[in-house]
Amino acid sequence: MQHHYHHRSQSHLSAGVPTTPGGETQFASEAKLGKKRGSYNCGRCGLPKKGHSCHVAITTAAIESTPTHADSSVAISATSSLSTTRPPPLRQHCSNLRRALSFDDDVEDVRGGFPEPEAAYDEEDLQFDDPFPDPDSGGFPPGCLWEILRRLPPVGLLAAARVCKGWRETARKLWRAAEELRLRVPARAQVGFVGSVLQKCPGLVRLSLRMESDVDATMLACIAFSCPNLEFMEILKSDTAMNRITGDELGRFVADKRCLKSLKMEGCSNLGGFVLCSSSLSTLWLSDLFSLSKTVFNCPNLKEISLEFSRQQNDSTDLTSMVDGLGRYCTRLQNIHMASLRLSHSVVLALTGAQLRWLRMLSLVLGSEITDASVAAIASSYPNLELLDLSGSSISDSGIGMICNVFPETLSRLLLALCPNITSSGIQFVTAQLPLLELMDCGMTICDPNSENPLAGESNDWELKNISKTKLHLVHQKLIIKHNRLKKLSLWGCSGLDALYLNCPELNDLNLNSCKNLHPERLLLQCGNLESVHASGCQELLIEAIESQVSNDFLAMENVLPCKRLADGSKRVHVPHFLSAQSYDDDKKQRVKRQRCNVLVR
Amino acid sequence: MADDGVNTKVEAVSKATTETIELRTEDGGVFDVDKPVAMEFLILKSFYEDEGRVFDKTSIRLPNVKQLELSKVIEYCTRALEFGAKSAAAAGDKDAERMVRQEREGFEAEFVDELSNEMLKELILAVNFLDIKEMLDFLIRSVANRIRNRSVAYVRQFFDIENDFTPQEEDQIHQENAWAFEGVDAD
């Protein structure tokens, strides 16, 4: 079977599936990991990337000092497509200002885009008994001045230092107290810019740079020189910037920084190969990798690794020996994410050959050469997985059978998007067999990849006269899912899906984008906690059906049961077999205090 | 049912039957402030709690606060308490919570819009003296927003600060940070 998802994917490697809300901290890193998926879903709004225009490449986990932000789900906020070239809304009245630096003001969805680049400060313990204004502080009690300046973005703070000597002193103290800095480096920034900012904050622990100008080893040298206590570093890259850092340079940086715990870097196409030695490193994310020669991961405390390779066809990286080495040295790995077209069964065998006792989350995406045999190997070596993502692979329903055999006690997230050999019975089997499941992604599974639009267009014509019998099994598929814990379900692009019955009381998010052939009268949603339904690319009638099913004043029994008008004018009502009187009462009670559910069509 | 709960709480804040305390400002203003609102002024709260005094209808002089400021402070604190009560009543209902939040944001935006720079500064001094944490945080945020993108000259004027740099020093800083300030409007 041909795999046509390649041509639908775009060059961005951005996050795919949203993560479940209410994550425990052990899942926090998984949440971040979970966003580094193949390109079928845009990380910003959860919509498939086809025909889509979100601008940000990689979503970032909030490197924030406030723990509350850590686990917010990201993809649901379809409103924010943050483009860093757009002037921030607060400043529109100054839009004729030409600033060398400008910062996004978006504070709501920190995870959804590059977080607002302000320095977050560790508060100095300033005791101020004297409430009266100190003339040097410009008419304000000194403590107040600190608080005001603390809330300014980096450039504001630099400006504040020019106001008067007292302010310069306070600003200086703030910089020195800074522990976290997020900075956007614009395309025409002068060479010394980052260096001069970094030199002001020697106490920096977390640094996140969004590069719109090219980045090379001078930047690394700058950082190494100015920030001796750096523990978390992230280099993000806009599309136009180039990352010229080589593997040697990166290796030297990592080896020298004795307290570096987390390193994330985009645009790693010039690494060429590297030797990373660090006993402090516990998180490593590298993306846009290409043709790596030798790779050594001498990082015994590495817990989380994410390696995304570029989509170019002639990637010559020897993944098998790379994974082999990884497994040998980094035995504490808990979360592994790899995205590469060259992933194959032998790579999986290298992985399962390693003794990774702590492995809980495994994601091997885009490898069409990953088969059911690979699933068998994974299941036998790592039976305690909590997350498994084999999107883009060739596994079939029998692979699913193995998954359901081995993982029911631990697996809460299963992602099998773009797996063309899976059918609806496989999907239903999963939901029946995995009681802990909270997230499931089956995007682009139940569909006929060869047919662009055989059925779309005619909104009232449900006849399939011209479909050949061989393809019939791909259309008219039905899904009946009843699950107590499922929170997020994605069926985007399942154009073979004809009927859908969902009874999932905990379901928050349902993605039905491009479910072109889902029949409006064969849709039943009994999910009291549903907050958003994505229905872009669906038929008008379907969208209306969804809206009426999730609306609050939806009470009448007749509306709930899908019915079909027969030729003689009578109504035949389809009662799904799981519908019982008891579940109805529960549903009614839930409906009373149901939140507003948004049907998102954009 | 939820509504009734909110109403009774709001009434408790604003009815004259609750205990009040008399506050006198330095320019002769006299205010009868409800106890819950007055207790937001930590300077008063500690006065009563630490000293173990009975909350009777004594009069307290506030030497550093003027009428206009105090009335604004009372207005803000009263509404803040109301919002707090509404928020608590709406807990669990995301839509209601969102509505309360939006209402509050609307009020705060209007409140701060009406304040001149001078008034904003005076309020900060007053609130700092009275030690009202929430309102101080709100005012400080507002100030930060007002000076966020402004030129140095504007900021000096706002705070009524004299430039105590020598021309050479100013030049030097300007050189250091030149890249950050190209195109700043002289406002």
- Inspect the interface and report whether the beta carbons of A94 and B185 lie closer than 8 Å: yes
Contact criterion met (CB below 8 Å) for A535 and A601: yes
Tell me the pLDDT tens digit for each residue of B110-162. Answer: 998 888 888 888 898 889 888 898 999 999 998 888 888 888 888 888 888 88
Going A130 to A135 to A137 to A140, the CA torsion angle's sign is: positive
Nearest CB neighbour to A98, from listed B160, B177, B183: B183
Nearest to B160 among A139, A155, A162 (CB): A139
pLDDT recorded at residue A137 = 56
Chain A: give the shortest CA distance to residue B162, in Å.
7
Place of tokens 């009372």: B74
- The verdict on a CB contact (< 8 Å) between B144 and A139 is no
- For A439-453, the DSSP string reads EEE-TTTSS-TT-SS
Burial class (CB in 10 A: 0-12, 13-18, 19+), A264: buried
- Between A84 and B62, the higher pLDDT residue: B62
- What's the Cα-to-Cα distance from A323 to each of A275, A305, A344, rounded to whole Å? 14, 11, 12
Answer yes or no: is the ipTM higher than 0.90: no
Yes or no, beta carbons of A162 and B152 under 8 Å apart: yes
> Is pLDDT of B102 > 60?
yes
Neighbours of A108 (CB within 10 A): 11
Backbone conformation region of residue A457, classed left if phi is above 0, alpha if psi is from -120 to 50, else beta: left
Q: What is the DSSP letter of A521?
A: G
At B178, is the pLDDT very low, low, confident or very high (cuts 50, 70, 90)?
low
Q: What are phi and psi of A221, to 5 degrees?
A: -65, -45
Task: Supply φ then ψ for residue A262, to 5 degrees.
Answer: -140, 130
A289: left (phi over 0), alpha (psi -120 to 50) or beta: beta
* Among candidate residues A76, A80, A77, A69, the one with its CA nearest the CA of residue A28: A69
Q: How big is the A-B interface in CB pairs under 8 Å?
A: 111
CA dihedral B116, B121, B122, B124 (to 10 degrees): 120
Which amino acid is present at A112?
G
In angstroms, the CA B40 to CA A59 distance is 41
Judge: B125–A140 Cβ closer than 8 Å, yes or no.
yes
- Answer yes or no: do A162 and B159 touch at CB < 8 A: no
Maximum distance among all Cα pairs of chain B, rounded to whole angstroms: 69
pLDDT value, residue B173 = 77
pLDDT band at B106 (very low <50, low <70, confident <90, very high): very high
Chain B CB contacts of A131 under 8 Å are 64, 125, 128-129
Model pLDDT, residue A52: 45
| Cβ contacts of B186 on chain A, cutoff 8 Å | none
- The length of chain A, given as a count of residues: 602
- The whole-number pLDDT of residue A507 equals 92
Any bridge partners for residue A388, and if so which?
Answer: A362, A414
- Residues in A touching B160 (Cβ below 8 Å): 138-139
Given an 8 Å threshold on Cβ–Cβ distance, is B185 in contact with A98?
no
Of B125, B140, B155, the CB nearest to A163: B155
pLDDT averaged over 10-residue windows placed end to end, chain A, 602 residues: 36 36 35 42 48 36 28 27 31 30 30 36 38 54 81 84 87 88 82 83 91 90 91 93 93 94 94 94 95 93 95 88 94 95 94 93 93 94 94 94 94 94 92 94 80 43 43 72 94 90 92 89 88 89 87 47 58 49 42 62 74
H/E stretch holding B4: helix B2-14
CA dist., res. A448 & res. A432, Å (int): 25
Query: What's the gap in Å between the CA of A102 and the closest CA on chain B?
Result: 9
Per CB-CB distance under 8 Å, the chain B contacts of A595 are: 93-95
Q: Shortest CA distance to A248 belongs to which of A265, A218, A273, A269?
A: A273
Determine the 3-state secondary structure of A6 from DSSP: helix
Check residue A159 and give left, alpha or beta (phi > 0: left; psi -120 to 50: alpha).
alpha
CA distance to partner chain B, nearest, from residue A49 (Å)? 30
Are the CB atoms for A286 and A262 separated by under 8 Å? Answer: no
Distance from B131 to chain A by nearest Cα, in Å? 10
**Chain B residues within an 8 Å CB radius of A213:** none
Report yes or no: A387 and A362 within 8 Å, Cβ to Cβ: yes
The reported pLDDT for the residue numbered B54 is 60
Q: Closest chain A residue to B184 measured between Cα atoms?
A: A97
